[in-house]
Amino acid sequence: MTAADAPRELPDVVPEPGLPARVQIVEVGPRDGLQNEKQAIPAAAKVEFIDRLGAAGLTVIESTSFVNPRWVPQLADAAEVYPAIERRPDVRYPVLVPNQRGMERAVQAGVRDIAVFGSATDTFAQRNLASTLDGQFDMFAPVVAAAVEHGIRVRGYLSMCFGDPWEGRVPVAQVVEAGTRLLELGCAELSLGDTIGVATAGQVTALLAAFGAAGVGVQKLAVHFHDTYGQALANTVAALRCGVATVDASAGGLGGCPYAKSATGNLATEDLVWLLTGLGIEHGVDLDALVATSVWMAGLLGRPSPSAVVRALGGASD
């Protein structure tokens, strides 16, 4: 028997009481994962990546961003990539929209789901959005209003929720206020980002409790963890125990934060799927197909995937 013929290793299923029965995985690899890649990735490869992720069972795939090409050259081909995606009736393909011009381009492309990207700290808002902590909401308001007018669902990302490389510790009350303002603008969902990967499980629990005390239910919240210090899965379990049922992840662990030394990228979707499978939580993803997709993308990028599960299972994937 060859390695390829050996039975696929899977985790034992041992459910933990009180966790969500199903988790919605928001796959961010094609946008958040690829946006900082320095080598140009052909539009056809991006389309194939998205199509393969859909075939693997992922039902929310953040596909690109209608951002100024000068800001993110890797995503300058959004108008070429988005229309070429093989549409699956049960899959949503949100795009990131930074401003009104981006919103106009998204509407012209027939986008039905968008996301806006905010900051929980003033310094990051200045550096990433050319705005301020308060001023960013004036920038988002017309974008969200236009989306609502066109029947487009809006997701709000909130970055620097657990730590900022310039400001250090971020007060919980400040994060809750910024997140609540995004929801009040009309965002259907708020994704809480550990942008530099410094969060620990206790912080996650405390922040989610603070949102609950402010009247924001967990059904409105998602989590977005980076694995800089190896805490992404632990933080995910903490969020699941608080009732969060939407988790962002990136196939193969693609992506990272340019502001954190040694940042190893987003929580790998394969690692998340292994965790959820072991806990008996439904997710709908074919792990073999997903691993094969990440092995394929790693080949295009010319480096191995940082995902532990891809490293463990990838040798039998093609």
Instruction: Tell me the residue type at 241.
Output: R
Spans of all domains in the chain: 3-316
pLDDT of 8? 66
Closest CA to 35 of 74, 64, 90: 74
Q: Tell me, which fold does domain 3-316 have in CATH? A: TIM Barrel (3.20.20)
pLDDT of 264? 65
Catalytic residue among 161, 187, 242, 257: 257
Question: For residues 149 and 129, is the Cβ–Cβ distance under 8 A?
Answer: no
d(CA 210, CA 175) in angstroms, rounded, equals: 9
Q: Which residue has the tokens 């922040």?
A: 207
pLDDT of 317? 40
DSSP H or E segment with residue 246: strand 246-249
d(CA 103, CA 146) in angstroms, rounded, equals: 8
DSSP H or E segment with residue 157: strand 153-159
Number of H helices, E strands in the chain: 11, 9
pLDDT of 69? 87
Per-residue pLDDT tens listing for the chain (318 residues)? 344 444 467 899 999 999 999 999 999 999 999 998 989 999 999 999 999 999 999 999 999 999 988 889 999 999 999 999 999 999 999 999 989 999 999 999 999 999 999 999 999 999 988 999 999 999 999 999 999 999 999 999 999 999 999 999 999 999 999 999 999 999 999 999 999 999 999 999 999 999 999 999 999 999 999 999 999 999 999 999 999 999 999 999 999 765 555 556 899 999 999 999 999 999 999 999 999 999 999 999 999 999 999 999 986 444
pLDDT of 6? 45
pLDDT of 298? 95
pLDDT of 128? 87
Closest CA to 310 of 276, 281, 273, 255: 273
Question: For residues 67 and 75, is the Cβ–Cβ distance under 8 A?
Answer: yes
pLDDT of 172? 98
Sheet (strand 113-119) strand order: 60-61, 24-27, 246-249, 221-225, 189-194, 153-159, 113-119, 95-96, 64-65
pLDDT of 259? 56
Q: For this structure, is 242 an active site residue?
A: no
Q: Residue by residue, what is the 3-state secondary structure of 158-179?
A: EECCCCECCCECCCHHHHHHHH
Pairing state between β 246-249 and 95-96 = unpaired
